[in-house]
């Protein structure tokens, strides 16, 4: 079974768990996705499944894309992504993948393009501190300061400076799936995920070890009594 899906970020809200705790969650429209292609090790050198998500208008596609979808008898899709799988025997072109691929209690990795924040100073971009605001230094309060030194007499590569902030491809690992609504294709994922609202998300079963919840140990004094 494919433990991956393409989704769309709807927004954030909060729900109560079984113990009455308030949990912040991100609402994600997960699928439905259509299998638009199957990659085999014999032909392509690797095993993978290509999924398509979100219907697109044919007039906004180029001719090779239109021909690809017509050849496979699939409605045009905006987003196409590949996911590696070990066994492709159970997949075929046109097959539908829905949100019920996951269930409450699963842990997932979410990848997306972060929100772009434009050109930012070192204070916002790298969490630098301000310079003194007294004795005539007010015009340099948010300035970075000196870039060089007596030794190299040049700016070293990789030095933290102001520049473009955000708009980077980021993966947040091991996020808990709080709830799944299979009928509406909605997932509630605990915490925040990257991307702007309506941004595309790639959701996969986590690569990290799933934490084991241990039951509290019984009191030894209570047993003696």
Number of H helices, E strands in the chain: 3, 12
What pLDDT, on a 0 to 100 scale, did the predictor assign at position 92? Answer: 86
Contacts of 169 (CB under 8 A, 6+ apart): 111, 112, 113, 114
What pLDDT, on a 0 to 100 scale, did the predictor assign at position 19? Answer: 85
Is 109 within 8 Å of 83 (Cβ atoms)? no
84: closest CA among 194, 207, 212, 182?
Answer: 207
What pLDDT, on a 0 to 100 scale, did the predictor assign at position 139? Answer: 73
**CA distances from residue 58 to 8, 41, 50, 79 in whole angstroms, order as listed:** 21, 31, 19, 13
User: Which three-class secondary structure string do you get for 9-50?
Assistant: EEEEEEEECCCCCEEEEEEEEECCEEEEEEECCCCCCCCEEE
Pairwise CA distance, residues 106 & 221, whole Å? 37
Pairwise CA distance, residues 195 & 170, whole Å? 9
User: pTM of the prediction?
Assistant: 0.78
Concatenate the DSSP letters of all residues of 157-193 into one string.
Answer: TT----EEES--EEEEEEEEEEEEETTTTEEEEES--
Contacts of 59 (CB under 8 A, 6+ apart): none
What pLDDT, on a 0 to 100 scale, did the predictor assign at position 27? Answer: 94
What pLDDT, on a 0 to 100 scale, did the predictor assign at position 211? Answer: 65
Using CB atoms within 10 A of its CB, is residue 53 exposed (0-12), middle (13-18) or buried (19+)?
Answer: buried
Q: Does residue 64 have a cis peptide bond before it, meaning omega lies within 30 degrees of 0?
A: no
Residue 52, helix vs strand vs coil: strand
What pLDDT, on a 0 to 100 scale, did the predictor assign at position 133? Answer: 77
Pairwise CA distance, residues 68 & 74, whole Å? 9
**pLDDT, one tens digit for every residue, the chain (225 residues):** 678 899 999 999 999 988 888 999 999 998 788 998 888 888 888 888 999 998 888 888 889 988 988 888 888 888 899 888 888 888 888 888 888 888 888 899 999 999 999 999 999 999 998 887 777 666 778 888 878 777 778 888 888 999 999 999 999 999 999 999 888 899 999 999 998 998 999 999 988 777 666 565 666 565 555
The total number of residues shown for the chain amounts to 225
What pLDDT, on a 0 to 100 scale, did the predictor assign at position 37? Answer: 87
């Amino acid at each position: 079974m494919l433990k991956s899906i393409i989704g769309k970020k709807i927004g954030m809200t909060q729900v109560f768990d079984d113990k009455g705790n308030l949990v912040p969650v991100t609402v994600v429209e997960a699928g439905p996705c259509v299998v638009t292609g199957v990659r085999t090790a014999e032909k392509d050198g690797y095993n993978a499944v290509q999924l398509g998500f979100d219907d697109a208008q044919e007039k906004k596609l180029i001719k090779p894309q239109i021909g690809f979808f017509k050849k496979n008898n699939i409605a045009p899709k905006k987003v196409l992504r590949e996911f590696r799988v070990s066994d492709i025997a159970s997949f075929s072109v046109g097959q539908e993948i829905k949100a019920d691929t996951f269930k409450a209690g699963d842990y997932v990795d979410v990848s997306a393009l972060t929100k772009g924040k434009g050109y930012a100073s070192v204070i916002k971009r790298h969490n630098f501190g301000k310079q003194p605001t007294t004795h005539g230094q007010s015009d340099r309060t948010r300035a970075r300061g000196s870039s060089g030194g007596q030794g190299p007499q040049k700016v070293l590569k990789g030095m933290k400076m102001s520049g473009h902030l955000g708009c980077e491809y980021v993966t947040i690992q091991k996020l808990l799936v709080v709830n799944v609504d299979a009928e509406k294709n909605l997932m509630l994922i605990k915490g925040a995920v990257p991307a702007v609202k309506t941004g595309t998300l790639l959701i996969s079963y986590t690569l990290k070890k799933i934490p084991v919840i241990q039951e509290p140990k019984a009191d030894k004094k209570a047993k003696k009594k």
